[in-house]
Amino acid sequence: MIVRTVLQIVTVKVLLKLCFAKDVIPANFVFGDSLVDAGNNNYIASLSKANFVPNGIDFGGQELGLPGFTPPYLAPTARGPVVLQGINYASGGGGILNHTGNIFGGRINFDAQLDNFENTRQDIISTIGVSATLELLQSSLFSVTMGSNDFINNYFTPIVSAEEQKLVPPQVFVASMIARFKLQLTRLYTSGARKIIVVNVGPIGCIPYERDLNPTAGTSCASRPNQLAQLFNTELRSLTKELTTGLKGSIFLYADVYRIVDDMIQNYRVYGFDSGSFACCYIAGSFGGLIPCGPSSKVCPDRSKYVFWDPYHPSDAANVIIAKRLLDGDSNDVFPINIRQLVNV
- Catalytic residues, by residue number, are 34, 310, 313
CB-CB neighbours of 69 under 10 Å: 15
Q: Sign of dihedral through CA atoms 131, 194, 28, 110? A: positive
Q: What is the number of residues in the chain?
A: 345
Phi, psi of 145 (to 5 degrees): -120, 90
Q: Are 62 and 81 in contact (CB under 8 A)?
A: no
Q: How far is CA 243 from the centre of its chain?
A: 19
Whole-number Å distance between alpha carbons of 29 and 80: 16
Whole-number Å distance between alpha carbons of 242 and 246: 6
Contacts of 299 (CB under 8 A, 6+ apart): 54, 57, 280, 281
